[in-house]
Amino acid sequence: MAANDDDTPPAELSLAGSVVDKAIEYMSGQNVPPVAIASALLGGAMALLSRSVSDEVIVQVLTNAIASVKAGELRG
């Protein structure tokens, strides 16, 4: 997946983000609790990662996510 020259996300990332946004919107409309939605999405993402990268890369992704949470980046 190559980045575009103007720093816009690649088409694949935009498409994937749109699909995930619609899935979240649908589940929210079905009154699925936010923690259940997030847990399902995280589980799916972890399963996908486990099929495509090493355990060490997964640990680094999670470590970066933890650092972002601790830094308050998700609450901005």
Residues in CB range of 27: below 8 A, 6 or more apart: 36, 37
- Average pLDDT of the segment spanning 14-30: 97
Contact 9, 17 (CB under 8 A): yes
- Which pLDDT does position 9 carry in this prediction? 76
CB 10 within 8 A of CB 4: yes
* Residue 33 clears pLDDT 80, i.e. is over it: yes
pTM for the full model? 0.75
CA angle centred on 54, ends 23 and 68, rounded to 5°? 55
In this model, does residue 47 exceed pLDDT 60?
yes
> 57: Cβ–Cβ under 8 A, 6 or more apart, which residues?
49
Q: For residue 36, what pLDDT is reported? A: 98
Length of the chain: 76
Mean pLDDT across the stretch 24-45? 97
Give the percent of the chain with pLDDT over 70.
91
